């Protein structure tokens, strides 16, 4: 084994153990939680060691970047599940439907229309999460809270399979209230899954019902300075309490 693959396996084990601890605290098991390794900005050379260590779900935030690296990686490892976790432009809907197994960022009627059309044309139903702009932040993707029930209804009418709700809470504040609100909205809509929790807060998210956590930095190390929506350290409840 190379140094890179030993480090990747160590980081994966550490995250899996943290997932298990957080799940147990709320009477769940790690099997209830899908760990998605967010590999945006990472080269195939950085991704392969995680695949070797047994990781199977991966997430990307840009369609074009994913098209550049995943077809080859999927050929090497056929049982990968690929998740689109970033904002999706309507004109990339067909490309997204072709490449991804799950889309986490359905957030507006125009995208819904484009996705429904792309799915019909491809004869492929890609399950989606509706992304909610849970902190009502102007610069962020996600459907406004008030518009979410109508978007869910339209998605169901259009035959788009809905898994649940997804959010990225505001940075630098306690995320728990936002996770709890997303969980309440999902319950009210009869949706089972919650895509919430990143490197800094996935333990908190799990304790509040997350079923799909999207973890980049904790699995790959720091990304080269590019877009990092959340500080990588110390936002999780468990981590905070351990540090003090």
User: Taking CB under 6 A as the rule, does residue 108 contact ligand PLP?
Assistant: no
User: Taking CB under 6 A as the rule, does residue 85 contact ligand PLP?
Assistant: yes
At its nearest, how many Å lie between ligand PLP and the CB of residue 219?
8
- Residue span 128-167 as binding mask against ligand PLP, x where in contact by CB under 6 A, dash where not: ----------------------------------------
Whether the CA torsion 17, 83, 142, 146 is positive or negative: it is negative
* Stretch touching ligand PLP by CB under 6 A, among 42-50, 115-123, 185-193, 198-206: 198-206
For ligand PLP, the binding residue among 23, 168, 183, 194 (CB under 6 A) is 168
User: Taking CB under 6 A as the rule, does residue 61 contact ligand PLP?
Assistant: yes
Q: How far is Cα 207 from Cα 225, in angstroms, rounded to an integer?
A: 30
DSSP string covering 115-157, please? HHHHHHHHT----EEEEB-TT--TTS-SB-GGGHHHHHHHHHH
Helix axes 3-25, 44-52, angle to 10 degrees: 60
- State both tokens at 108: 């507006």
* Stretch touching ligand PLP by CB under 6 A, among 69-77, 115-123, 147-155, 211-219: 211-219
Q: Which of 222, 177, 220 has the alpha carbon at shortest distance from 196?
A: 177
Q: How far is Cα 99 from Cα 36, in angstroms, rounded to an integer?
A: 16
Q: Read off the DSSP letter of residue 180.
A: H
**Bridge partners for 162 per DSSP:** 128
How many residues sit close enough to ligand PLP to count as binding (CB under 6 A)?
17
For ligand PLP, the binding residue among 40, 108, 193, 235 (CB under 6 A) is 40
User: Taking CB under 6 A as the rule, does residue 198 contact ligand PLP?
Assistant: yes
For ligand PLP, the binding residue among 8, 12, 15, 38 (CB under 6 A) is 38
Enumerate binding residues for ligand PLP (CB under 6 A): 38, 40, 61, 85-86, 168, 198-200, 214-218, 229-230, 232
């Amino acid at each position: 084994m190379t140094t890179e693959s030993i480090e990747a396996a160590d980081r994966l084990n550490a995250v899996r153990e943290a997932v298990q601890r957080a799940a147990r605290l709320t009477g769940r098991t790690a099997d209830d939680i899908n760990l998605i390794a967010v590999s945006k900005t990472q080269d195939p050379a950085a991704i392969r060691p995680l695949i070797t260590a047994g990781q199977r779900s991966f997430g990307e935030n840009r369609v074009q970047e994913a098209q550049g690296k995943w077809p080859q990686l999927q050929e090497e490892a056929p049982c990968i599940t690929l998740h689109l976790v970033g904002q999706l432009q309507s004109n990339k809907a067909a490309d997204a439907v072709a490449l991804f197994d799950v889309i986490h960022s359905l957030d507006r009627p125009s995208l819904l229309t484009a996705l429904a059309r792309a799915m019909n044309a491809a004869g492929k139903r890609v399950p989606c999460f509706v992304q909610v702009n849970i902190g009502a932040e102007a610069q962020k993707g996600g459907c406004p809270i008030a518009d979410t029930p109508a978007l869910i209804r339209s998605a169901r009418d259009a035959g788009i399979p809905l898994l649940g709700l997804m959010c990225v809470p505001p940075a630098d504040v306690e995320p728990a209230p936002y996770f709890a609100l997303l969980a309440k909205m999902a319950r009210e809509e009869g949706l089972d899954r919650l895509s919430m929790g990143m490197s800094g807060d996935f333990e908190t998210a799990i304790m509040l019902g997350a079923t799909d956590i999207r973890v980049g930095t904790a699995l790959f190390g720091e990304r080269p300075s590019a877009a990092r929506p959340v500080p990588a350290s110390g936002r999780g409840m468990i981590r905070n309490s351990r540090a003090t």
